[in-house]
Chain A
Amino acid sequence: MNRYGKEFTKGILRENPVLRLVLGTCPTLAVTTAAVNGLGMGAAATFVLVCSNIVISLLRKVIPDKVRLPAYIVIIAGFTTIVQMLVKAYLPSIDQALGIYLPLIVVNCIILGRAEAFASKNSVGLSTLDGLGMGAGFTASLVVMGSIRELLGNGTLFGWPENGLLPPITIFVLPAGGFFVFGMLIYLANKLSHRLDKDAAKKELGTQVCAACPMASSCHTAGACETGQSNPVTEPDSKEVKENG
């Protein structure tokens, strides 16, 4: 996969801002009582994230290093204000549901984190894709979490059907249930991305390391490198040193 694809997809699972980096937990726990709130919050934050990433990346050589954080905040606050006004005008019900958490996107640590860690060091194209990927990961996490909590806690999904599919277990829409679902999703995301990492490492080692390894012809533990447990390349060396010494 080329660089651009990688910058986009990393935010969805491997560096998912909510479940892997554990950033932005405050809006995550607070607004995910319903799936539609998660979607609204995710979309609003993604818009701010992409726009601020673009602008910060464009201005990265102009902004003096010493005042970069206030400068980032001003840019982020500008876009947050735009989003807030748009949502208030066109989606008043979402505005009601998100409440204080919509203006609080200004201090969302995912957005500031991406500005500081990525957009201030990379080109506009990469920063846009990074913002899109991180926003997609954030939105996906919020929608999944909101769906689980809404389905179990209220019996509905995106407000459908009106009578409810399941008998409601209210604790899932309360904070305690939010933390529980959050913990379970973090567990799942860790498990999944460890498996992906393992597969990727296997692939890489299988094709590159053995081929490039000078000991490949006489290696008795072919493939052992893949698990990362032992390193047959250095073993013979250390033996030699022992014998010599």
Chain B
Amino acid sequence: MESTLIVSSSPHLHSGADTRGVMLDVIVALIPAGIASVWLFGWRALAVELVCVAACIAAEILSRWVLKRPSSIGDLSCVVTGLLLAYNLPVSIPLWQAALGCVAAIVVAKQMFGGIGQNFVNPALLGRIVLLASFPESMNTWTAPVQLQGVDAVTTATPLAVLASGGDLSAIPLDQLFFGMRGGCLGETCVFALLLGGAYLVIRRVITPIIPLVYIGTVFVMTWLLGANPLYHILSGGLLLGAIFMATDYTTSPINRSGQVVFAIGCGLLTVLIRLYGSLPEGVSFAIVIMNILTPLIERATRPLPFGEKRRWLRRG
């Protein structure tokens, strides 16, 4: 059947890229942040990550089996989802809650809509939002990195929570934020590790830098225009993790360049609005999920047109 689709007879090049290879690259790119999370938050960080990955794999196998669909475990996408979700959780979260978030991510966001490539929002972000709505207490208990505490684990506020409650961050040096020595989710704090991973993805051409750059740029400009300190807003919270690893998800972001720019600007605007004017200190996950849902509309508006055709905004179907 597939052979009938080939039209020309020239030798064709195939880059060899497949889902498994792309996902492997993403996993490699996530490793620096994982190492940083263990360095900052101790071995429990690794435990949370392992539980999340294991729960995602189990949920994927089970749901494919229940739905009588061929196994899709080989594409490794569920490992990426598990890692990303773990990076979005605080280190002190009870492990069963983390596993429950993985089940929500894989079963509800991904498999119920048809599996990889069919999910309408980023599964890891949906898992995070389900956990945030379900267990507000354990999702908002932040532990200070081991470098900043004495013998006992110390709970602390995230820099964004300090900002939201009208506090001042100027006491925290920027290089401390750059290497992640602050309260926060496992994988979001160490900016250096995230940039390493992002650079790897761009060099391997897994992602184009359009979405992360425009997203971060929008946040920079907007926070600066609205009178906040743009550097603190970029270096704290989940902005880099979201911009590099989650907003660039193929399934839930626009395909062509102009659409990606619109998508990223939307993410940036929503993030800043939630951070500065919303009741939550952090808005990256909600911003990306809202733009995920708007992606089909963005795609329609930015679809390239055949020569001579005019764009009709209200076309149906």
Check A169–B135 contact: CB distance below 8 A: yes
Chain A residues contacting B108 (CB-CB under 8 Å) are: 180
Residues of B within 8 A of A180 (CB): 108
Cβ-based interface call for A63 (8 A): no
Q: In the docked arrangement, what's the CA distance between A180 and B135, Å?
A: 17
The smallest beta-carbon distance between A18 and chain B, in angstroms, is 21
Q: How far is the CB of A154 from chain B (nearest CB, A)?
A: 12
Q: Does A85 contact B (CB under 8 A)?
A: no
Within 8 A of A (CB), among B50-99: none
- Which size class do A's interface residues fall under? under 10
In the bound assembly, the distance between CA atoms of A121 and B108 in angstroms comes to 44
Name the residue among A168, A170, A172, A174 with the largest chain B CB count within 10 angstroms: A170
For the complex formed, measure the closest distance between the CB of A78 and the CB atoms of chain B, giving whole angstroms: 41
- Name which residue of chain B comes closest to A183, CB basis: B112
Closest A residue to B132 using CB positions: A171
Give the most central of B100, B130, B134: most A CB within 10 Å.
B134
The answer for the CA separation of A170 and B131 in the assembled complex, in Å, is 9
B133 proximal to A (CB < 8 A)? yes
Produce 1/0 per residue, B128-149, CB < 8 A to A: 0010011110000000000000
A174 contacts which chain B residues (CB < 8 A)?
A: 133
Expressed in whole angstroms, the minimum distance between the Cβ of B113 and any Cβ of chain A is 12
A residues near B130, Cβ cutoff 8 Å: 171, 176
Are B100 and A170 closer than 8 Å at their CB atoms? no
* Minimum C-beta distance from B78 to chain A (A): 21
Q: Interface residue tally of chain B, by bracket?
A: under 10
Whole-angstrom distance between the alpha carbons of A75 and B133 in the complex?
A: 42
CA distance A168 to B135 in the complex (A): 8
Q: Which residues of A contact B136 (CB under 8 A)?
A: 170
CA–CA, A168 and B134, complex, Å: 8
Binary per-residue interface labels of chain A (142-170) against chain B in the complex, 1 for a CB within 8 Å, 0 otherwise: 00000000000000000000000000111
Taking the nearest CB of chain A, how far is it from the CB of B68, in angstroms? 15
The complex places the Cα of A169 from the Cα of B134 at a distance, in Å, of 5
Taking the closest CB of chain B, its distance from the CB of A114, in whole angstroms, is 33
Assembled-state Cα–Cα distance A147/B136 (Å): 22
- Complexed CA–CA distance, A172 and B133 (Å): 9
- Using CB atoms, name the residue of chain A closest to B133: A171
User: Smallest CB–CB gap between A140 and chain B, Å?
Assistant: 26
Which residues of chain A are within 8 angstroms of B133 by Cβ–Cβ distance? 170-171, 174, 176
A171 CA to B100 CA, complexed, in Å: 12
When distances are taken between beta carbons in the complex, the residues of chain B under 8 Å from A172 are: 134
Specify which chain A residues have a CB less than 8 angstroms from the CB of B134 in the assembled complex: 168-172
Complex CA–CA separation, A105 to B133 (angstroms): 30
Q: Which residue of B lies closest to A152 (CB)?
A: B134
**Shortest Cβ distance from A153 into B: residue:** B134
The complex places the Cα of A176 from the Cα of B104 at a distance, in Å, of 12
A25 to B159, CA, bound (A): 42
Min Cβ gap A185→B in Å is: 15
CA of A174 to CA of B133 in the docked complex: distance in angstroms? 8
Complex interface residues of chain A between 153 and 212 (CB less than 8 A to chain B): 168-172, 174, 176, 180
Shortest distance between the CB of A167 and any CB in chain B (Å): 8
Which of B100, B108, B133 gathers the greatest number of chain A CB atoms within 10 Å? B133
Closest residue of chain B to A172 (Cβ to Cβ) is B134
Those of B114-139 within 8 Å (CB) of chain A:
130, 133-136
CA of A170 to CA of B134, assembled, Å: 4
Bound complex: CA A29 to CA B135 (Å): 21
* A168-B136 Cα distance, complex, nearest whole Å: 11
For A169, the closest partner residue in chain B by CB is B134
Please, how many angstroms separate the alpha-carbon atoms of A61 and B282 in the complex?
63
Complex Cα distance, B134 from A172, in Å, reads 8
Q: Which of A168, A169, A176, A180 has the most CB of B within 10 A?
A: A169
| B residues in contact with A168, CB < 8 Å | 134
Report Cα–Cα, A180/B130, bound state, in Å.
Answer: 12
Shortest CB distance A224–B (Å)? 25
16 A-B residue pairs with CB within 8 Å? A168-B134, A169-B100, A169-B134, A169-B135, A170-B133, A170-B134, A170-B135, A170-B136, A171-B130, A171-B133, A171-B134, A172-B134, A174-B133, A176-B130, A176-B133, A180-B108
Q: Which 6 A-B pairs rank lowest in CB-CB distance, beginning with the nearest?
A: A171-B134, A171-B133, A169-B134, A170-B134, A171-B130, A174-B133
Q: Which residues of A contact B (CB under 8 A)?
A: 168-172, 174, 176, 180
List 9 other contacts, CB 8 Å, given A170-B135, A171-B133, A174-B133: A168-B134, A169-B100, A169-B134, A169-B135, A171-B130, A172-B134, A176-B130, A176-B133, A180-B108
